[in-house]
A and B are shown apart, each in its own frame.
Chain A
């Protein structure tokens, strides 16, 4: 046998291997993504044939499309501007309170949009803390700051939501960089700026691209933020889809808009795959006992200043709204008679106490502990599903095979798909035997996994690709079985990325409301579902309970993340 023949045989065997790895993730996508989606497209097409021609169709598509791209681009830009320096601080330095700050910066990600709207209202709304303070200090009768229902409100909320993606994805990559490369560059006489431009940034480009894509997709399909904080004059594709599907019952137009949105997602992800191809430089990851830590403590005043400014900025943008929400759940702001202008700020635990009382003997009363347990169980299952599937898919993607070029963008599609359309699809597909409406809650972790999967893959893949083939070959030559090679070489290198993706999957599941609201049954409510139930009724007690429940959600999630991060995996020797 000639050498080339051996090579070909290996090639085809590895192609089969890649296909085997793809099997489960693809099956998952076909069953739980494509089948529901196309069933809705089919219904929409049928309805379109029966309905009369709609006027002004082009404008109905282009107007929201233009705004969708515009706000997503702006939001992504601002998120990167805030996120990259933070990723640098987190990836390179140790400072007091770092792990707490990292958990706190993750919390926005879990919050349902209605809670975020309440948080921003508590901070910058007409009766928010800032306006109250300004009115008190300058003796004003009207709130001076009017930020809600504007484009800046949308942008701030998107930065609030998504900065954690940049911090986690890029920060983790940054901490993995071998500092010796930068040291070598500096020794060879390059200025710090030149080192950043020519060594660090090129090495980080895959992570930055991945984070940028994820942030852009989230902003691109943004729905609640636009609806609740942007106000009625702004409509993205997703908002239009929601209006057309749920309020106009115009399925053909909703279907058309979803198809356009899906197409845009496809184009974006294909462009991304092209751009990220061959970007990955094997990083020669540092293993246990080798080299020195890349984490330094803050020494020069310049480092301290940079870290200080970043931390203050993060605190103002990400943590202040959370704190405002928590504070508001503890303070009574009743609209009593005759005390207009005055705010009686009595501290109270009433809202929390009331959560545990089924005052009206109502059928759908949600005990908070049960809601929390349901939420945590769904989140845990989501972590399990999405990590398993994500690991298989990214292992396949890390290998060279032609099929990857096609399947890589497909994997990202769920992130850019209308939650409304997909939710309707679940209803159409999964309500006939062998499924029945009772089995719909079983689909909740699956739906959450659909959203989490792109995050898991985008986080794991750069790490997997960074493993130099020579390391695996060396291990194999020294007699290690494939399993042992994976255990001793792959796992330590990807462990940190696996942890990051577990946190993403966990938080995505905890805060998800769209799909859950389609699938949840009253017997198994989640925390976001319970929050919506409170906030949908008038009365100070209901509003207070919604905020109290949101605060509980934040606390539960914060503890969950801390717990996940405490899991000690090999290869993680220090907190990045």
Chain B
């Protein structure tokens, strides 16, 4: 047989490439042996606790390590998309739960999660110091952890330069001086968008909110699909510096602008409109997933989330407010984050029952 140098080289290359890939592959993918979860046999072996969260979940590594050491536990987190996506995964997998604890269901999805019987009740002793306004589930299947106000953020410089007064109510937004200045998110695809829609429903009622939105539309409200676009493309207060000086975002966004400034700032470039009725309060809950074999450890983890160290860690990690009223807020929050004094509120059961109908009607009015 004739010796063919090109073929030999090719063969060598192919073998090399596949070896390389195999090496790479084995490094990147987790151990292949099925990690069958078993009850701890020896005291030295840490017990694994699986926590399903939305993608925005963050915590300090030191705090988590401390919990793991104190409880001889190994925490594995399963970020599962945004709030809706994560909840959907939990619902779809409830016959063979992916995790022991679920964190991140908010008051707009709460009733749905409870209807699906995702959670086991747990009356944590730490609940006593949490105000009643946060405890929306009397059976304590879902326990409040944090809250955040969805408010209109505004570009301070624009309002100062143009000597424009801040809107003091939702009604004000339909005035001609604010024509074309507001960008909102589509409530069908964005959770702050839905929260703002709910604020208008709380204000004008299910019969009146569409008339209000018609007026907003006539006044040039801009609708985009997601928070990223609203904040980074359309909003003039962010680094995107778009055309609208008002955007629906969170009351905690101004401190985030300071924390994540590219060059140190001595003041936040943005602030929130916190006038009565203009904000909607999102409350996020944690629950122990029904059927967990790690009930005791899961209880400890829930307690941990409601305890002060975690509650005080949350603001700078997730940019939310702690539900424990005595938890110390970081300085940047005290300085730049405003709290809505009378946030709009709606019964979670009412939201759950009408969510689709409200959004569909809104879509017909505003988008078509």
A and B interact physically: yes
Chain A residues near B (Cβ < 8 Å)? 40, 43, 114, 117-118, 121, 125-127, 142-143, 148-149, 227-228, 231-233, 242-243, 245-251, 332-340, 343, 348, 350-351, 360-365, 373-374, 376-378, 380-381, 383-384, 424, 427-428, 431-439, 441-442, 445, 487, 517-518, 521-524, 532-533, 535-544, 567-570
* Cβ contact of B88, chosen from A246, A380, A523, A538, cutoff 8 A: A246
Which of A114, A521, A541 counts the most B-chain CB atoms under 10 A from its CB? A541
* Cβ contact of B25, chosen from A377, A436, A537, cutoff 8 A: A377
Q: Could you tell me the distance between the alpha carbons of A245 and B86 in the complex, rounded to whole angstroms?
A: 11
Q: Could you tell me the distance between the alpha carbons of A227 and B189 in the complex, rounded to whole angstroms?
A: 9
Are A542 and B233 neighbours in the complex by a CB distance under 8 Å? no
Q: Could you tell me the distance between the alpha carbons of A287 and B85 in the complex, rounded to whole angstroms?
A: 53
Give the contact-size bracket for chain B.
35 or more
Asked if B15 is an interface residue, CB under 8 A from chain A, the answer is no
A227-B189, A384-B18, A541-B262 known; A126 vs B234 contact (CB < 8 Å): yes
Are A537 and B317 neighbours in the complex by a CB distance under 8 Å? no
Q: Could you tell me the distance between the alpha carbons of A335 and B242 in the complex, rounded to whole angstroms?
A: 11
* Cβ contact of B316, chosen from A360, A378, A522, cutoff 8 A: A360
Q: Could you tell me the distance between the alpha carbons of A47 and B53 in the complex, rounded to whole angstroms?
A: 24
Q: Could you tell me the distance between the alpha carbons of A448 and B161 in the complex, rounded to whole angstroms?
A: 51
Q: Could you tell me the distance between the alpha carbons of A149 and B249 in the complex, rounded to whole angstroms?
A: 20
Q: Could you tell me the distance between the alpha carbons of A428 and B356 in the complex, rounded to whole angstroms?
A: 25
- Minimal beta-carbon separation of A485 from chain B (angstroms): 14
A228-B226, A363-B61, A543-B239 known; A427 vs B98 contact (CB < 8 Å): yes
Q: Could you tell me the distance between the alpha carbons of A522 and B91 in the complex, rounded to whole angstroms?
A: 21
Q: Which of B25-77 contact A (CB under 8 A)?
A: 25, 27-30, 32, 34-37, 50, 55-62, 64, 76-77
Q: Which of B230-255 contact A (CB under 8 A)?
A: 231-234, 236-243, 249-250, 253
* Cβ contact of B34, chosen from A143, A439, A517, cutoff 8 A: A439
Are A536 and B233 neighbours in the complex by a CB distance under 8 Å? no
Are B155 and A335 neighbours in the complex by a CB distance under 8 Å? yes
A231-B224, A232-B224 known; A336 vs B79 contact (CB < 8 Å): no
Q: Could you tell me the distance between the alpha carbons of A503 and B359 in the complex, rounded to whole angstroms?
A: 43
* Cβ contact of B64, chosen from A250, A363, A543, cutoff 8 A: A363
Are B60 and A373 neighbours in the complex by a CB distance under 8 Å? no
| Interface CB pairs A-B, < 8 A, 18 | A228-B228, A232-B188, A233-B368, A247-B84, A333-B241, A335-B237, A337-B156, A338-B160, A363-B61, A365-B61, A373-B24, A384-B21, A428-B92, A431-B96, A436-B36, A539-B256, A541-B262, A544-B239
Contacts of A339 in B (CB 8 A): 157
Contacts of A539 in B (CB 8 A): 239, 256-257, 259-261
Q: Could you tell me the distance between the alpha carbons of A293 and B267 in the complex, rounded to whole angstroms?
A: 66
Q: Could you tell me the distance between the alpha carbons of A445 and B21 in the complex, rounded to whole angstroms?
A: 12
Contacts of A242 in B (CB 8 A): 189
Residue of A nearest to B31 (CB): A438
- Minimal beta-carbon separation of B170 from chain A (angstroms): 20
Asked if B99 is an interface residue, CB under 8 A from chain A, the answer is yes
- Minimal beta-carbon separation of B145 from chain A (angstroms): 16
Are A361 and B260 neighbours in the complex by a CB distance under 8 Å? no
Are B188 and A334 neighbours in the complex by a CB distance under 8 Å? no
Are B233 and A126 neighbours in the complex by a CB distance under 8 Å? yes
